[in-house]
Structure 1
Amino acid sequence: MWIFLDIDGVLVPEKKFDAPVGKDDLLKFDPHCLQIFEDVLQRYPEVFVVISSSWREIFTFDSIQPLFSPSIVERVVGFTPFLDPKIIHQFQYLRHQEVLEFLRQNNALEDFWVAIDDIREHYPSDTNVVVTDAYTGFDLSSALALELFLLAA
Structure 2
Amino acid sequence: MAQEVPSIALNPLTRNPQALGQVVRSRRAGCHLRLDDTAHACGVSTSTLSRLENGRLTGTNSLFKVLDGLGLAMLVMPRTEADALLRTLGHTVEWRCIPGAAAGGIRRPGASSTVHSTTPTLFVDYDGTLHVGHALLDTTSGQVSLDSGRPLLEFAPLLADLLEPYPEVEIVLTTSWLQRLSTEQVASYLPTSLARRVVATTRAVKPRLSYVLDGTERTYIITSYAYDKGLKNWLAIDDSVYGADHVGLVPGELVDHFLLLDSARGISDDGAQQRIRDWLASTHKGDHM
Provide TM-score, normalisation by structure 2. 0.44
| Post-superposition offset of 1:66 | 1.6
Amino acid at match of 1:45: P
CA contact (8 A) 1:10 1:132 kept: yes
The separation in 1 between residues aligned to 2:235 and 2:220, in whole angstroms, is: 14
- 159, 169, 183: which is aligned to 1:61? 183
Unaligned residue ranges in structure 2 (runs of 5+): 1-119, 246-251, 284-289
2:219 pairs with 1:96: yes
- TM-superposition CA deviations, 1:93-151 (whole Å, max 9, x none): 3323222332344x333x21001011341533524222322112221512221011121
Separation of aligned partners in 1, 2:191 and 2:235: 21
User: Higher RCO, 1 or 2 (CA under 8 Å, sep at least 6)?
Assistant: 1
**Alpha-carbon distance, 1:60 to partner:** 1.1
In 2 relative to 1, CA 77–43 (structure 1 residues): closer, same or farther, beyond 3 Å? same
Amino acid at match of 1:117: D
Q: Is the alpha carbon distance of 1:90 and 1:121 closer, same or farther for their aligned partners in structure 2, counting shifts above 3 Å?
A: closer
CA distance in structure 1 between the partners assigned to 2:260 and 2:206 by the alignment: 27
Contact 2:178–2:203 at 8 Å: present in 1 too?
A: no
For residue 129 of structure 2, what is the amino acid of its counterpart? V
In the alignment, the residues of structure 2 paired with residue 7 and residue 41 of structure 1 have an alpha-carbon distance, to the nearest angstrom, of 16
3-state secondary structure, aligned to 2:242? helix
* Secondary structure of residue in 2 paired with 1:138: helix
Consecutive unaligned residues of structure 1, counting only runs of 5 or more, are none
Partners of 2:129 and 2:239 within 8 A in 1: yes
* Cα-Cα RMSD: 2.9
Partner residue of 2:157? 35
Larger radius of gyration: 2
CA distance in 1, matches of 2:190, 2:206: 29
**In the alignment, is the contact (CA less than 8 A) between 1:81 and 1:101 conserved in 2?**
no
Letter in 1 for 2:158: I
How many equivalent residue pairs? 145
Shift in Å, 1:74: 1.6
Matches of 1:83 and 1:45 in 2, distance apart? Answer: 27
Following the alignment from structure 1 to structure 2, what is the Cα–Cα distance between the partners of residues 120 and 95?
Answer: 6
Which residue pairs with 1:136 in the alignment?
Answer: 265
Partner SS state of residue 116, structure 1: strand
Determine helix, strand or coil for the equivalent of 1:150: helix
Residues 149 and 57 (structure 1 numbering): CA distance in 2 closer, same or farther, change over 3 Å? Answer: same
| Pairing 1:3-152 to 2, within 5 Å after superposition | 3-14=122-133, 24-26=143-145, 29-31=152-154, 33-84=155-206, 87-89=208-210, 93-105=216-228, 107-109=229-231, 111-121=232-242, 123-124=244-245, 125=252, 126-139=255-268, 141=270, 142-152=272-282
SS in 2 for 1:3: strand
Letter in 1 for 2:200: G
Give runs of ≥4 in structure 1 deviating > 6 Å: none
Indicate if the aligned counterparts of 1:3 and 1:115 stay in contact, CA closer than 8 A.
Answer: yes
| Change beyond 3 A, Cα 1:84–1:49 | closer
Q: Distance in 1 between matches of 2:227 and 2:137?
A: 39
Give 1:88 deviation, angstroms.
4.4
- Percent identical among aligned pairs is 21
